[in-house]
Structure formats: structure tokens, C-alpha cells
Structure 1
Amino acid sequence: MLFMLLAFFRIIGAFPYRWKWETKGIEDMLVKFVLRQSVVAVVWSWVVVMFLVTLSLSCVINAPNFNRGITSTITIYILNFVSYITAAILFTYLATNSSKLANIIRRLDQAGAGLRRPLVQRNDAMQLVCGAGMVASLAYATYASFRGTLAAPLTKSGVLYHLPATTCDIAIETSTLALGLSLYFVLKIVSTEIREAVEVLVPQPHPYHLTSNWVNGFSTKTSLKWKILPHSHHTAALQAVEEQEGSGGGVVGEVVRCRVSRRLLALDDIVVDVVQYAGPPAAMILLASTVNATVMLYLTITNLRSHRLDTYYVAYITTKILSVIQITFVPDCLSSQREKCLRLVRGMLASHDTCTHTETGLRDVERILSTGAKFLVCRLFTLDRHIILSVASSVVTYLVIALQFGLSETPQQTEVNCTMPENT
């Protein structure tokens, strides 16, 4: 799933890299992941990006005047400026910072994370539902926009604004969807590795263990390439040393706990890289979606004065709302997995008579989990579920202000769709 999204990124010019798995070693038992920048992909990337940026700037420069009231005219200009300037910056950012995304993928592979593991599960329902809803609503909005544009006479406005705007809207929403899903699945890989690292500390009879994949008392996850010894030897050695010393603080056990702490710190560094790469795009997506939802809701309400519901606006509003929800839930899998692991470690500390070495190791793991990197968007705010309430509050506030001005004005003509020709 992750590499399907990266392939789509390469098509839209946001990831000019190619990858493959090479087999090396005796009897080709060693598999190496290779990620290289491709010259052809780089050229394609800049051609696509310059094309999309040109279309975005064309939408801003050639935005038509629909001869509406003052409030409606201002809101439409704000909508066009914020949407398409943000789109131009977003396309350029993704292309120029593709090396950061490539570095994240390389670090995941170097850490032994399962890049090719199955990622789609039941707990991904929120992301999948939002993605499906965005695709469906975008398809209808695109159909309505193209239908109105093609039905109208060919004019300068149609060539320089309506067709570029419709094309840019498709590129913006698909890029947003692919970016959100890519970040989500990268963080899901990290969260899965965090869970498996913590599970190494938990013996089978422990009531707080998270899964049931155990052999001789310890986890048998094949993706844990960083373990010191093979599973059977590791467990036997650990149990033998701890039985001799009469406590849970044996030499091997202490080494394992140190390795777990280092493992968690390495995964936390990957999260920091993800946040640095994804912070600016997330801020731009949230800003553009909030402005679009506010203006489109205002235009929908003002259209109701003429007893007409524009389904194009409804579809576009749905797309933007789902976009906000999808981006907001990107770090949700990581935060929830950290909370589960924290409960697991604290349960071990509370329910087991541990020696000094064991307690110190568990305290280190607890501290790393509790102080892990947060998804700080440009160091302005933390991306979590509370953002949905903040966005909803902003939309309602500015919608009420716009309606107070707009509904007091006398409409000069029948309201029309701001992304479709005037006579539709």
C-alpha cells in the first residue's frame, strides 16, 4: 500500500525516485532495499510541477468577476487566492522536499521495519472512509464543473480560469489524499515497531501483553531484525541467567532492555523526520480546507435565497471536510499505540516485584514513550483530534460574520457557481 502511494507521488511529481529489492549473499538469502533518484523522474517531476503551478497562477490572475454583492465578491476572491496560491506552494514544496520523504523511507528500512508488510486493517476505517468519500465527492464536483464548462460557449474566462481551476482541484485533492494516506501508513509502521519492541519485555503469562504471538515466553515477531540472538537462544539464555541471579535483572535481560530503549529512540527520530517533512503541507491543507469550507457554505446559504441548492457546492464542502478529518487523524495510530504501550509498561511496574536494574530499564522505556515526539505543525500547534473542533469553530465564526454582511445586501443577479461559467 505504501509503495502504491509513492508510485502515485511519482506520477504527480512529488517523489522522483525509483526503488527495488536486490538479493545478495549466500544463496541470495540477504535482501537489500535500494532507493535511488531517477533522472527521468526528476525531469518529469519538474515538468508536472511547473504545469500545475502555472495553472494555479492562471486561476488567481484570471479570476472572473461575477458581479455579485460586495461580500460575495470579496469571499470569492479570497477563496481563489488562498486555494490556488496555497496549491502552487504545496506542489513546489512536495517536489523540492522529496529527499526528506526518501530519507524517511531509507531510515525505516535501515531500522528493520517491515516496509512490505500488510498495512490495511480494520482500525484504518477512518482513513479509508474519508478517502472513499473524498474520491466520490471530488468525482461528482469534477463532473458538475466540466459539464457546466463544456455546455457554455468557449470564452477567455473558460480557457484561462474554469478549465485550469477544475484541473487544479483534481490535482489538489488527489495530492492531499495521497499525502495523508502516505503519512498515516508511515506512522503506522513506526507505531507497529514500537509495539513489537515493547512486547519483547513482556513474558507470556503477563496479563498485560498485547498479542498472542509468543514462543517460550517472548515475542516471535520476525520483523525484529535488531534482536541480539535468535528467539529460542535469546529466550533460553535470558531465562537461564535470570534464574541463576534470582531476579529479573540478569545481564542478558539488561542488554535487551537497553536495546529496546535504543530502538524506541531510533523510531522516535523517524517520527521527528516525518513531522519536519509533513508539518508545512499539513498547515497548508488545513488552511485551504478551512477557507474553502467557509466560503462554500456561505455561497450555498446565499444561493438558497433564490430557492436553489447547488450540489456542486455540497460536494466540494464534503471533500474539504473529509480532507480536514483525514489529515487530523494521521498521527492517531501513533498516539494510541504509545498509550497502550505506556499502560503495558506501567502495569509491569505495578504488578511485578522488580529489582533495581529491571525497574530502571522499565522506567527508561516509560520515559521515552511518554516524552515521544508530537506532531507539531510548524511548531504552531499539535495535530490531533482537537483540531477538528478548532476548524469547526473558525468556520462557524467567519460564516456568521460573512452572513451578517451578505444577507443584508440586495442580490444583483441570480447566484452562479464560482468555478463554472456565468450562464450555467
Structure 2
Amino acid sequence: MTVGANAQIVVGDATAIALADNATIVVQSGAQVKNSALTGNGTYGTGADTIAFRNNSTLTVEQGAAVISGGTEGNAEAVNPEGTGNTIINNGTIQGVHSAAIWFQNTSGSNTVINNATGVIEAPGNVMGASGNGAVDFTNRGQVIGNLVFAGGNDTLRLYTGSSVSGTINGGGGNNLLTLNGTGTDTLPTGITNFQTLQKQDTGTWTVASSMGAMGVTSAEVQQGTLALTGNNTQYTGTMLVDQAGILQGSSQSLPGAITDNGLVQFAQAANGTYAGLISGTGSAEKDGAGTLTLAPTAAGGNTYTGGTVLKQGVLSVSADNALGGTAGGVTFDGGTLQLGSSFDLASTRALSVAAGRRHHRYTGLPVDDRAKRDGYYGLVLQDRLGHVDDRRLAHRPDRRGGARGHARAQRQRRTAYGQRDG
């Protein structure tokens, strides 16, 4: 069935469109389907809904079109799928003036809602509801005005950058999945509860200010792009996985206490802080921000990530070599400082390197000698916390691509500060 462009179907206390199984309904641009339900039971006896259908049907509302339940009957929704296997694609407006915009009657099975970038789904309270434990797969690229509340099924909510939900988001019962999608940047709204699984997908950046535990999350994964955590996740006990194409960003307080890092963990440490958690996996870690980050893993054996550590800003302080991950992972100086405890013993297999375009200075390095300077070597001067200089120097030589490579074997116990700046 097609409601043509700019056409109108307007009825009173009755269902405006009611179809059975395998229906295809298109409300074209500029068209309107509206009723004004008061007490009617509708075609299926579940309220005088504006549009109702049973199983395996598709409703498409084009941009500029509208489906509106305009009456005062509280259980007469704008769209009411009676069964399962249905898909609602909204590019226009679906609105309940005194009711939910969408209601699912099914008590099992699943239905799908896709609210695209120009779509608006609106209701004075909950925009959506369900009668039982049927699952809903809801994609939001547009606007949801009201609360987004799921029922008892295993639901999925897919949020895209640029979308919005004005009210609270509640996954309801079941085992529910929240995915963060799209390009560009966005911030997850607060007031989200009852989602057990969180996945960051696509290349964009999402910031999550709530604690994951308060959201109900027990399993989190960064598949792609950047997930920036700014809430307090020190008490989070679930899993945290960073895939190869993923970046997990946060501070010592906002990052969870156990991270499987197969991509990149960025410590955005503006203030001083200590991270006592465990980082494992094949990925790398990076120190950003002007503050001092102390890595002090409490787990036996320390951190085991093998992708190396990059110092971009501020100070990274460690008292044991295993805080820097597996011994095969090197340390790269690219603007930051590495501070070593008084009993530090650097692993003989851990390489130290300098990013292209960097030279060492006092918390830096000094040229080893005139010949080394001519050959392009620079040294790292080791200091303790009182500024006492260790006479051992670590040679680095730029490679043909402009980078610098170095290797050191620590034979003394007193090793404390490496640093650098441009120059």
C-alpha cells in the first residue's frame, strides 16, 4: 500500500490503516496518516492505532511525511506491529500526541526500527513500548524525543554520531547490546541503564561520561575508532577488549582495572594519577596529557602488553620494568618523559627509541662525544629523583628514514629519568 505524495488519510476514533502479514506500506513525502482515537479498540482489538499490521511487514515513512496518533486514547499508538519480523523505516515523523509513538504487541520474536538522519520519533513520555519479551533492534541516526524504554527481550540499540535521545534510555530486561556507530565525534547521553554489552564500532569517536557499571555493562569492546571514557570506572569488574583497529582513551581513574589491549590504550592524563590495573594483549600504550601517570600494576608479573609504550606528553613514572609491558615491547620517546624508580632494572631486551625529529636534552640526552655527534648519535642521561647523574649513556643513531633507534641493558639498580623535548 502506498500513500502518495502530499496525500492525507485522516480518521477519527478508528484505525487508519490495518493490514495483515507480509504487507508493504509506504507513506510518501508530504503525506500524512492521522487518527484521533478516543476509546476505540481498533481493528485488532488492541486500541485504535493509526497504522497496524501483523507479521513480516515493512513500513517506510519518507522524509516530510508523518504518521500521527492525535487522540487522547493512551493505548492508541501511531504504529502498532501486532506480530514479529516487522521493520519500521522512518525518515519523517512518527508521533504519539497522548500515547507512545510505537508499540509492539508480540511477546516473543523480534522487530526492527530504523530511525534515519531526518527521522523524528516523538511522544510525551516513552516513545516505545512492548507487551512482552519480544526483542527490538533499534537504530537511531535521527531524533528521539522522549524516553527510549525497551521491554523484556534481548534488545539492541545502535546509536550513530549526530543522533539524539532527549529522555532516558532503559534496556529493560534480557541481555541487551548497545553499539556506538558512525564517523565524527559524539557523546553518549547520561541516564542509560540495563545494557550488558557495549561495543564501539565504525571509525568515529564516542565519549562516555557515565561509569560503565552504572549502565549495567559487563562486557565492553572497542572494535574500531575511539572510545573515550571520562567517568569513574575504577570499580568496573567486567571485561574490556580493544581490537586491532580500536583506541581506548581515558585517565588512570576512568579506565577499567583490566584491559585486553590488542590495539591502542591512550592515557589522557591531564592531572597526576596512578593506574594499578593490568594491561595485556598485543597492542600498545601511549602517555598523553601534561600530568604524571604512575603505572603500578598490582597483578603478579605486571603488565604484559607487547606492542610497546609511546611517551607523547608529561611524565610516565614506573618503578619496575614489567609496568612497561612485555619485555619485547620497546619505549618510544615522542615528547614525554620516563621517570624510573630507584630500584628499577631495565630488561635487557627492551629497546629504547626516539621518534623522528626528536633530540634529547637534560631530562634529555646530551651528545655522547664529538664523534658521536658527527655520526648523529645522541645519549640518554640517567638520573635519580635527586638529580644525581649516572655516568652511563645510551647511544641512539638515526636510521635512513630519519628515525632513531637505541638499545640499552640496565646493569645498575639506580635508573630514574629519561626525558626529551624538541630541539
TM-score range, shorter chain: under 0.3
Higher helix share: 1
Give the number of the structure with larger relative contact order, counting CA–CA contacts within 8 Å between residues 6 or more apart.
1
Give the TM-score normalised by the residue count of structure 2. Answer: 0.20
Q: Which has the larger radius of gyration?
A: 2
Higher strand share: 2
